[in-house]
Structure 1
Amino acid sequence: MKNHCIDKVPGTSILEINGAFHEFLTADKTHLLSQEVYLKIDEMKRKLHEYGHKPRTMEVLFDLEDEDGEDAFALIASELGSPIRIVKNHRVCVDCHGYTKLVSIIYVKER
């Protein structure tokens, strides 16, 4: 899209934890827990690989590395057993949907 000079609204995700709302922008590293979030992302990627997840990136027009922050933060900041709800301003691609389902399965088993 950049090669064709097409601008798009940045992807955002909002989640609520303990009554506070947290917003994540694509590739944003300004959150107070950013360092912990990226350590958790690395852990999540290792576990997904162990479970055999292979990213399906054919239809994706952006870097998937920038899209995992809200999932990682939610796992770090939420209480054990509490539901996690993430609201996005864009549609979720097939790979991101599958990724989220597998993360849920992996971390529910381990909690």
Structure 2
Amino acid sequence: MEITLYSLGVILGCGVVTWLPRVIPFMLIRKINIPEVVLRFLSYVPLCILTALLVQNLLLVQEGQLPKINSEYWYASCPTVLAAILTKNLMWIVIVGIVSMSLVRYFA
């Protein structure tokens, strides 16, 4: 497969368009003093996003029925949440989550 100049330009353009919105806010925010209240509020954003992702995977939703718990994800999330409470270390949380999910899928 041959890459034309047009294809290369599209790939590079998509990369720049993807990269800019992620970098520009960090460059702009460096020069602004943000109030402590806003910083405290923003510190909860990662927790909210991760909670939303977790709940989305734990519940199986079917139209016209109450949500059901996805047992595979439930079994893997129990030791992961326990590791989060005990260690408060993101690396250990990820490792325990991956190992838990692997074990659940292997034995189930």
Q: Could you tell me the TM-score, scaled by structure 1's length?
A: 0.31
Using CA pairs below 8 Å that are at least 6 residues apart, which structure has the higher relative contact order?
A: 1
| TM-score normalised by structure 2 residue count | 0.31
**Structure possessing the higher radius of gyration over alpha carbons:** 2
